[in-house]
Structure 1
Amino acid sequence: MLFSDVCKVFKDIEDTSKRTEKIQHFIKLIKMAEKENSPASLRKICYLSIGRVYPEYENRELGIGPNMLIEAIKSIGIKEKDLLEGIKETGDIGIAIEKLSSQIKQASLFQKPLTLDDVYDTLKKVGEIEGESSQKKKIRHISNLFLRATPLERRYIARIILEDMRIGMNIPTILSAFSKYFGIPKEKLERIYAVVNDIGLIGEKLLMGVDIDKDEDLKLKLFRPIRPMLAQIAPSIKDAIEEIGTPQFETKYDGARVQIHRSGDKVKIYTRKLEDITNSLPEIVEEIKKLDKDNFIMEGECVAIDLNTGRPRPFQDILRRIRRKYNIDKMKDEINLRVYLFDTLYYKEPLLDVPLKERREILEDILSEDNDWEKKREKIEREIKSDKKIDISYKLVTEDVKKAEEFYRWSLNIGHEGVMIKNLKAVYTPGSRVRTMYKFKPTLESLDVVITKAKIGMGKRKDWYGSFEIAVKDEDGNLHPIGHVGSGLSEEELDRLSKKIESIKIEEIGDEVVVKPEIVLEVSYEEIQESDKYNCGYALRFPRVVRIREDRPPEDINTLEDVKRIFQIQKGRKKVTDKN
């Protein structure tokens, strides 16, 4: 398959703003792979269309930044000065290189045309180059691609390398195309994707014609992390009980969500961003290895604990441990961690379709503990200050509102966030915000949002980006701005954010830059208001950054539906206040 043919369809996708038309154009790519009887080609197209080379769960990068890319582009006769001017004019290195390529003599006219395999395999090889002279080798491989490429091909090669395709394709849109072409409900494909986190694998398997309900590669596997199930916001404990019936209450911990996989002596720990943090948490690994049971995937919350009080330490302490690459033993002595486990997703076989009640029983069997608050409250309170590295979440099964509220207050009193409220009959739905699990906290729920634009600050902040446009997503993954935030960040955090923004900016508009939606912030606010300032119809009043959520992927930010739900909860609370 010629890469030029793929690029023509990429351009068709880019040239329309209508999602239905993007889906139809992507179906052309499916048909092209089908015509060549090449499921592997569809796999590669899926990755490249979203600016990737590797599956999402691998968390691997090509290791080529803008400066290295510019060096490679210079080798085809384009001057750096002209390229930088072109980027400034267009805000896009892809269009800049395409325009400049059209103005110079094309060596590519005398080269063998690039195939899809040429481009994908070269980029994959580039990502695997390490060691001495790796930078020179990477530049050489990229230069060779550019030498053989047409101007349009260069547009997309440059964008793929920077992981910024700008054609408006994302995972939900590709899944919609698969659903339409292969006649499979999108909900089923979404569930499979949340398990495998590999859009290319799904495309390849669909074109192969496998039974997607039985194919082992599309099922939960050890050491291939899945996206976590997410909770809805409960207006009150009473409302949640009325919704669920007899729920299981658990203490809500303010930590980092982790997924622990074990087979024999092999243990891996992943974050909710699917990052492997095993090496950063050696004491947790050792404790997991001591368990009698084997072949499991457990889910929990990693919390930094002050052993003098038994109370959680600031969230930033957890991030310091997770991000640590060197001197881990020293940091381990400074910051004590404990993982509160609350679910089992795999035990000798996948458990996603097993009700929570049974999954919890399996977890209690693996850990030889249940931490039933009603029966073991004294024991739990004695052990709060212990140096336990792993524990099971504190639970209470009840439909008694007063008893549940007592457990909620107790959880707050020992320093935790609130409670989780779970339906014991519910299966595990990875990657979804479900109506079978709720969270309840004492304050109006904060929002996880993503930065879409940044603006240079004023006064003391003139050397940094000081104001950020923030957005939530809709059900199709499209982003909707909901406000601007600047307060709540320290100078150190502003400096760190500004450096990150410089590395992901994609367009400059005066003193404002458009960025790749990668940075997740947790923000609080006075209230959510109806507003015509933003297309979504809502705006945050007095938003403030609670923290930078380096542990959360952009895919897990709050949705527009969440905003609407919080708005309704807020209206209900206002009515109660007004009556009083």
Structure 2
Amino acid sequence: MLLSRLARVSQEVAATSARSRKTALLAELFRDAEAADVPVVIPYLAGRLPQGRLGIGWKTLGAPAPPAAEPALTVREVDARLAELGALSGAGSQAERARLVGELMGAATEPEQRFLRALIGGEVRQGALDAVAAEGLALATGAPPAGVRRAVMLAGSLQTVAERLLAEGPAALEAFRLTVGRPVWPMLAHSAPSVAEAIDRLGGCVIEEKLDGIRVQVHRDGDEVRLYTRTLDEITDRLPEITRAARELREDRFILDGEVIALGTDGRPRPFQETAGRVGSRVDVATAAQAVPLSPVFFDVLSVNGRDLLDLPFADRHLELARLVPGPMRVRRLLVPDAADGPARAAAERFGADTLARGHEGVVLKSLDAPYSAGRRGASWLKVKPVHTLDLVVLAAEWGSGRRTGKLSNLHLGARRPDGSFAMLGKTFKGLTDVMLAWQTERLKELAVGPVEEGVPVVTVRPELVVEIAYDGLQRSTRYPAGVALRFARVLRHREDKTPEQADTVETVLAAHPGVAP
């Protein structure tokens, strides 16, 4: 397939907001594609490179290159060239990278150049996500959309399904079955603002603790146990205690869904980064397991003894879970059988408050009737988490890249110390609209205490601009002077009505998160 064809469809998809039109455009593209094109076409549509980040800056991408007169590049040729770029390292690699980028751009027409710059720079924003692509694939091949979605769920890869469908037709879907040892995308939850609203939406449901751990899928077939993360990465060798726990269960063939978490001797969760660090560590696993042992907490079962349970109602799946997994390894939960029952609703509210008091991050409410919709954010699972906000002071900012080139974007955020100085707690560029970016760039230029040229990566400013941020919590950190860092901070608004003296203090921040302070 010619790159020009893909670039044109990408532009057309970006120009329409109608899902049906996006689906039709993608279906037409898939009809023209060969099975061998799929591993490149699908990631490119979603704005991803199969090779990951290539380390190519906007200065290199933006270097002028006379465009080709006629399209000749194929998507597979582009992929091969980018793979060559990604393999470069060592002395002279920067110059060679610039040369190869120049060659690639010189072989591309002007529309293809625009697409390649956006793709390599991470700026493709056409909204052709996997869900829409799956619908387009179904339309192109005559396969039932529900069957394609289920095959993707079970295969863990849209590309795998697309290759088989384009090569073999709808009959290929029969090959995709739930299989022990092959991970599936986990079911995810939407958000709700409160327990009461979640109950109103779901009706009869269950409320469960939402643990601040790492999602894990446990597959056992006899003595063989495999563990996978929510991104389907295998981590079996890193968590021997979870493997042992799986082997102690009464059945010997199953797939379980749950979390692993580090707990203190009092049963409260240890800081999240201890769990994350343990799961991520590949070095001296035995010592790491002794220092930070992890506990499995299961909340769903997808298969037992060869029986596929995905389509069963959640209430029935939990009966199987309770039969298989002992209580200490199951998530704490409370049944809310009648949404209109006042005492039941009050009990759910108390359960949510108690969960927070136990140190967990929130609750998840689940419909009793819902099947397991792997890989999707189903409306039948609703998570409720408290929203933390702070008023912090901007201490510095970094120049943005891509569409944020020329804008001061990444903000360094600080809280007040008792002596009137500020302790940095983290950075964020999330939540900023184009209007907010433009305004803060001009304001921060006015507050700059040093050079503001784009070649200067960090622009230090007078601590006068207050911003309100939302964040998911704190974690310990040796990078910042207060010993803690914000998790998943995003800007809500600029607080021109507040002075730096009215910003939150380090003491206030630490007091809101007991147990995290160093």
Query: What TM-score results when the alignment is normalised by the length of structure 2?
Result: 0.63
Q: Which residue of 2 aligns with 1:225?
A: 184
* Map of 2:426 onto structure 1: 494
* Structure 2 CA distance for aligned equivalents of residues 343 and 329 of structure 1: 28
Shift of 1:341: 0.7
Spell out, residue by residue over 1:527-576, the C-alpha distance to the aligned partner (whole angstroms, 9 max, x if none).
xxxxxxxxxxxxxx955223389xxxxxxxxxxxxxxxxxxxxxxxxxxx
Larger mean CA deviation between 276-285 and 183-192 belongs to: 183-192
Amino acid at match of 1:392: R
Q: Of 470, 478, 502, which aligns to 1:544?
A: 470
Among 315, 322, 347, the alignment partner of 1:364 is 322
Please tell me whether the aligned partners of residues 305 and 338 of structure 1 are also in contact (alpha carbons under 8 angstroms). Answer: yes
Q: 2:298 aligns with which of 334, 341, 363?
A: 341
Match of 1:216 in 2: 175
> How far off is 1:102 after superposition?
1.3
Amino acid at match of 1:177: G
Residue in 1 aligned with 2:330?
A: 392
1:455-483 Cα shifts (integer Å, max 9, x gaps): xx9976115589xxxxxxxxxxxxxxxxx
1:230 Cα offset (Å): 1.6
Question: Alignment partner for residue 318 of structure 1, among 252, 271, 275?
Answer: 275
Q: What secondary structure sits across from 1:65 in the alignment? A: coil
Aligned with 1:165: secondary structure?
Answer: coil
CA contact (8 A) 2:184 2:374 kept: no
Q: Is 1:115 paired with 2:69?
A: no
User: Are 1:171 and 2:130 counterparts?
Assistant: yes
Distance 1:126 1:289, change over 3 A: farther
Contact 2:183/2:228 (8 A) holds in 1: no
Select the residue among 372, 380, 393 that pairs with 1:428.
372
Aligned residue for 1:101, secondary structure, equals: coil
Q: Give the letter for the 1:32 counterpart.
A: D
Distance 1:440 1:154, change over 3 A: closer
Equivalent residues in 2 for 1:76-91, closer than 5 Å: 83=59
Kept in 2, the 8 Å contact 1:232–1:438? The answer is yes
Instruction: Assess if the C-alpha contact under 8 Å between 2:191 and 2:383 holds in 1.
Output: yes
Alpha-carbon distance in 1 for matches of 2:119, 2:379: 37
Task: Verify: 1:462 aligned to 2:418, yes or no.
Answer: no
User: Offset at 1:302?
Assistant: 2.3
8 Å CA contact 1:196–1:220 kept in 2: the answer is no
Pick one of 236, 250, 260 that aligns with 2:208. Answer: 250
In structure 2, do the counterparts of structure 1 residues 169 and 432 end up closer, same or farther at CA, with 3 Å as the change threshold? closer
Deviations 1:54-112 (A, max 9, x none): 4xxxxxx4452125xx8xxxxxxxxxxxx46xxxxxxxx3xx35xx2217xx7x99xx9
Change (3 A) 1:221 1:29: farther
**Equivalent position of 2:40 in the other structure:** 44
Instruction: Give the gaps of 5 or more residues in structure 1.
Output: 55-60, 71-82, 85-92, 372-379, 381-390, 449-456, 467-483, 514-540, 550-580
Aligned residue in 1 for 2:516:
none
1:4-30 per-position Cα deviation (integer Å, ceiling 9, x unaligned):
444444455556677665545434422
Distance 1:429 1:165, change over 3 A: same
* Equivalence map 1:187-336=2 (5 Å): 189-208=148-167, 210-211=169-170, 214-217=173-176, 219=178, 222-230=181-189, 233=192, 235-236=194-195, 240=199, 243-245=202-204, 247-264=205-222, 266-291=224-249, 293-307=251-265, 309-326=266-283, 328-336=285-293
Q: Is the 8 A contact 1:244 1:436 kept in 2?
A: no
1:334: Cα distance to partner? 3.9
Shift of 1:271: 3.2
Taking the aligned partners of 1:265 and 1:114, their CA distance within structure 2 comes to 50
Distance apart, 1:357 and its partner CA? 3.5
Unaligned segments of structure 2, at least 5 residues: 401-410, 417-421, 443-466, 476-518
Equivalent residue of 1:26, what SS?
A: helix
- Provide closer, same or farther for how the CA distance between residues 260 and 27 of structure 1 changes in structure 2, counting only shifts above 3 A: same
- Which has the larger displacement, 314-323 or 179-188? 179-188
Shift in CA distance, 461/202, structure 1 to aligned 2, threshold 3 Å? same
Task: Give the whole-Å Cα distance in 1 for the aligned partners of 2:138 and 2:213.
Answer: 37
Change (3 A) 1:350 1:32: same
Residue 65 of structure 2: aligned partner: 101
Give, in whole Å, the separation in 1 of the partners of 2:470 and 2:412.
Answer: 6
Assess, with a 3 A threshold, how the Cα gap between structure 1 residues 135 and 262 changes in structure 2: closer, same or farther.
Answer: farther
Distance 1:399 1:413 in 2: 24
Other-structure match for 2:31 = 31
CA distance in structure 2 between the partners assigned to 1:486 and 1:351 by the alignment: 47
CA drift of 1:278 comes to 4.0
Cα deviation for residue 45 of structure 1 reads 1.8
What CA distance in whole angstroms lies between the structure 2 residues aligned with 1:286 and 1:204? 37
**2:396 corresponds to which letter in structure 1?**
K
- Distance of 2:95 and 2:242 partners within structure 1: 39
Q: CA deviation at 1:364?
A: 3.2
> Measured at CA, do residues 335 and 266 of structure 1 come closer, stay the same or move farther in structure 2, by a change above 3 Å?
same
Letter in 2 for 1:320: G
Are the equivalent residues in 2 in contact too, given 1:50–1:163 (CA < 8 A)?
Answer: no
CA distance in 2, matches of 1:276, 1:181: 33
User: What is the SS of the residue equivalent to 2:163?
Assistant: helix
**Conserved in 2, the CA contact under 8 Å of 1:265 and 1:289?**
yes
Partner of 1:350: 308
SS in 2 for 1:312: coil
TM superposition shift of 1:431: 3.2
Structure 1 contact 421–439 (Cα < 8 Å) conserved: yes
Deviation at 1:195, TM superposition (A): 4.0
Q: Within 2, Cα distance between the matches of 1:198 and 1:418?
A: 30
User: Structure 1 residue 300: deviation in Å?
Assistant: 1.0
**Mapped pair 1:146 → 2:84:** no
Aligned to 2:55: 65
- Kept in 1, the 8 Å contact 2:218–2:228? The answer is yes
Q: How far apart are 1:429 and its partner, in Å?
A: 1.2
Deviation at 1:411, TM superposition (A): 4.5
SS at structure 2 position matched to 1:66: coil
Question: Does structure 2 retain, via aligned residues, the 8 Å contact 1:354–1:427?
Answer: yes
Q: 2: CA distance between counterparts of 1:138 and 1:259?
A: 43
- Percent of pairs with identical residues: 23
Deviation, structure 1 residue 305: 0.9
8 A Cα contact 2:191 2:384, kept in partner: no
Higher helix share: 1
Q: Deviations over 1:167-220 (max 9, x none)?
A: 443224423433554566656544544444423234334434533695223656
- Go from structure 1 to structure 2 and tell me whether the alpha carbon gap of 1:337 and 1:121 turns closer, same or farther (over 3 Å shift): same
Partner SS state of residue 215, structure 1? helix
2-structure distance, mates of 1:24, 1:238: 36
- SS of 2:176's equivalent in the other structure is helix
The code of the aligned residue for 1:178 comes to L
Q: Is the 8 A contact 2:387 2:471 kept in 1?
A: no
Give the superposition deviation at 1:344. 1.0
Which whole-Å CA distance do the structure 2 matches of 1:461 and 1:303 have between them?
35
Instruction: For residue 473 of structure 2, give the secondary structure of its aligned residue in structure 1.
Output: strand
